[in-house]
A and B are shown apart, each in its own frame.
Chain A
Amino acid sequence: MEPYDIWWFRDKVVECFQNSMNSTSRQSFRASALITFLPSVRYALCLSNQIETERIKLSIEFFMDDRMNELGTHVITLIKLFWGHLQALENQVTQVRTQVNGRPQLTLAHTLAKTCY
């Protein structure tokens, strides 16, 4: 079995890729490296058959586009989550900072921010 044979197990590749994105440990991210074998598919193609070559080439490109979009969306989702949590904690700290002599002082910005979360 050659590395380019991975193309015939696309479902497994997608599954590994998605699992590695959703996991929290660093080791499991190595599974996503499976997509690096995709370029080697060109060695398995019969160049004399133009129709087959074009078809596989297109499907690989579509496949890679999907994976890239998936990765981009995943990163943006994580950043959004991080932003939300950071902002919520920041708001709480802001409120703690505004207390003077043991009495909480609500600022305008703080009060308005309260309504948005």
Chain B
Amino acid sequence: MKVTCSHFTLALTVSLYRLIHFYAIEQIEAARRIEKLIQYKLNSKKSGDMTRNSDVGMRDSVGSDGEPPMGDKTAENTSNGAEALPGTESEAWAKESIEKLVDIRQRIINTMTMAYELQMMKIFSREYDITVFLRQMVVSFVEEHFVNLFTPASTGEQSNIILTTAGNQTSVYNLLGPKVILTRFKSLLHAANTALSCLDCHISTALRTILFKECCDLSMAPPGIPPAKLSANSLGEMIPKTEIEYWGNLLWSIVDWFSKLCHQVVSGDSLANNSDANNTLLWVPYLNSIVRPNVSVQGNIAPTRGTGRSNSVVASFFNNQVTNNLFNNAISLESIALESFLSRQELGSLCQIIGVQGVRVLDQDLLTTIIEKVRAALSMF
């Protein structure tokens, strides 16, 4: 009986010891893991702060040698004191940004859900419908910012596209292409839709109203109707003139801006190069855009990269313009020419914004200009 008891005590002691040992190892492992995590977080925060202080909102996600960012290797390297891999700052910054984004999204959803639950209240003779009120606020915010995307900001909050390029040639830094505007607008719609989706509402309805109001010229016949029928049965006759002047204001501003841009590029007043030698414009089918060949100072066209056989102007473009502007990290804004805004991509983005009616207005405006130019040229003979 004694032996059994001592055996039992021994076995219990051993198992207890094993349990404690196992528990201790677990604790040590957990502590190590936490320590590693804290170290990684500290390094990430440090690199994130560094990038935030560099006053550039968009960080390079790849380094100079083009290596993609790596997750765990980065942490290893930074914890070992080695030089951080390219893209570490960007990764840390993106992680922080995504966390903030998720947090803000949750707050929006919470607020909107609360507003939706409160519904309507009647206080004496006044009715407060919080859902409708918030919906109106969001829609008016989108509408206001849609117009502001195309006009210079008076408050300096955002720098936007310039609708008058002819007089303000020095302010190229504020000139944003339609592609950037479209991206911003998409982000705005996404943000607004996040809020509106909690109120059983979709942004598409509001967007249709905004686009119809800002980018539709009611004095023009709708698509599919020939211009001859315009005077007989047009919306313009049914709506007062003051309202017609107001409707489509933004559309005409955009068309005016684009038309002036075309004039400026054709006349050779590019901001990039003002010398006469560089003012020859070419249409390159391969790039689907108008380009300005880069001519050397002596007036000779630079040889083609690689084979060196062709001496054409297009070849010199590929040699210099593409190499300098697309493959060089240190691109300067001074090297951007106005004709870059006339590329197919930029025009496609612009057409997406202004819609069918806008394209028709733009087309009509450009055709009028071309007809005038041709007439002027013919009158010389």
Select the residue from B67, B103, B123, B173 with max chain A CB neighbours within 10 A: B123
Q: From B66, which residue of chain A is reached at the shortest CB distance?
A: A102
A19 CB within 8 Å of chain B? no
Q: How many of chain B's residues touch chain A, expressed as a range? A: 35 or more
Contact indicator per residue, chain B 176-196, by CB within 8 Å of chain A (1) or not (0): 110110011011101110110
Contact indicator per residue, chain B 10-31, by CB within 8 Å of chain A (1) or not (0): 0000000000000000000000
B264 CB within 8 Å of chain A? no
Shortest A96–chain B CB gap in Å is: 5
B97 CB within 8 Å of chain A? yes
Contact of A109 among B183, B187, B331 (CB under 8 A): B183
Chain A contacts for B110, CB-based, 8 A: 23-26, 29
* Contact A75 to B138, CB < 8 A, known contacts A82-B108, A83-B188, A89-B94: yes
A79 CB within 8 Å of chain B? yes
Query: Is the CB–CB distance between B195 and A113 below 8 Å?
Result: no
Within residues 102 to 146 of chain B, which ones have a CB less than 8 A from any CB in chain A? 103-108, 110-115, 117-118, 121-124, 126, 128, 130, 133-134, 137-138, 141
B56 CB within 8 Å of chain A? yes
Query: Is the CB–CB distance between A81 and B111 below 8 Å?
Result: no
Query: Is the CB–CB distance between B326 and A105 below 8 Å?
Result: yes
Q: How many of chain A's residues touch chain B, expressed as a range? A: 35 or more
Query: Is the CB–CB distance between A79 and B57 below 8 Å?
Result: no
Chain B contacts for A18, CB-based, 8 A: none
Chain A contacts for B124, CB-based, 8 A: 42, 57, 60-61
Chain A contacts for B104, CB-based, 8 A: 78, 81-82, 85
- Roughly how many angstroms separate A33 CA and B309 CA in the complex, as a whole number? 78
B271 CB within 8 Å of chain A? no
- Roughly how many angstroms separate A19 CA and B262 CA in the complex, as a whole number? 54
Within residues 72 to 103 of chain B, which ones have a CB less than 8 A from any CB in chain A? 90, 94, 97-98, 100-101, 103
Contact indicator per residue, chain A 71-89, by CB within 8 Å of chain B (1) or not (0): 1101110111111011111
Query: Is the CB–CB distance between B121 and A38 below 8 Å?
Result: yes
Contact of B141 among A79, A88, A89 (CB under 8 A): A79
Query: Is the CB–CB distance between B60 and A112 below 8 Å?
Result: no
Query: Is the CB–CB distance between B191 and A89 below 8 Å?
Result: no
Chain A contacts for B105, CB-based, 8 A: 82
Query: Is the CB–CB distance between A71 and B111 below 8 Å?
Result: yes
Chain B contacts for A25, CB-based, 8 A: 110
Within residues 19 to 43 of chain A, which ones have a CB less than 8 A from any CB in chain B? 20-21, 23-26, 29, 32-33, 35-36, 38-39, 42
Query: Is the CB–CB distance between B130 and A92 below 8 Å?
Result: no
Select the residue from B67, B118, B175 with max chain A CB neighbours within 10 A: B118
Query: Is the CB–CB distance between A75 and B111 below 8 Å?
Result: yes
Q: From B328, which residue of chain A is reached at the shortest CB distance?
A: A106
Q: What number of residue pairs across chains A and B have CB atoms under 8 A from each other?
A: 179
Chain A contacts for B101, CB-based, 8 A: 82, 85-86, 89
Contact of A89 among B56, B98, B179 (CB under 8 A): B98
Query: Is the CB–CB distance between B183 and A96 below 8 Å?
Result: no
Query: Is the CB–CB distance between A71 and B115 below 8 Å?
Result: yes
B62 CB within 8 Å of chain A? yes
Query: Is the CB–CB distance between B113 and A26 below 8 Å?
Result: yes
B45 CB within 8 Å of chain A? no
Chain B contacts for A81, CB-based, 8 A: 104
Shortest A113–chain B CB gap in Å is: 5
Select the residue from A81, A82, A94, A116 with max chain B CB neighbours within 10 A: A82
Query: Is the CB–CB distance between A116 and B121 below 8 Å?
Result: no
* Contact A78 to B130, CB < 8 A, known contacts A39-B123, A91-B57: no
Q: From A53, which residue of chain B is reached at the shortest CB distance?
A: B124
- Roughly how many angstroms separate A85 CA and B240 CA in the complex, as a whole number? 43
Chain B contacts for A35, CB-based, 8 A: 118, 121
B336 CB within 8 Å of chain A? yes
A108 CB within 8 Å of chain B? yes
Query: Is the CB–CB distance between B187 and A108 below 8 Å?
Result: no
Query: Is the CB–CB distance between A111 and B333 below 8 Å?
Result: yes
- Roughly how many angstroms separate A21 CA and B105 CA in the complex, as a whole number? 13
Query: Is the CB–CB distance between B187 and A83 below 8 Å?
Result: yes
* Among all A-B residue pairs, the 8 with the closest Cβ atoms: A117-B57, A91-B58, A102-B66, A83-B191, A29-B114, A109-B179, A72-B137, A82-B191
Chain B interfacial positions (CB closer than 8 Å to A): 56-62, 66-68, 90, 94, 97-98, 100-101, 103-108, 110-115, 117-118, 121-124, 126, 128, 130, 133-134, 137-138, 141, 158-159, 173, 175-177, 179-180, 183-184, 186-188, 190-192, 194-195, 325-329, 331, 333, 336, 340, 343, 346
Q: What are 5 A-B residue pairs whose CB atoms fall within 8 Å in the complex?
A: A64-B123, A82-B194, A86-B101, A87-B184, A112-B333
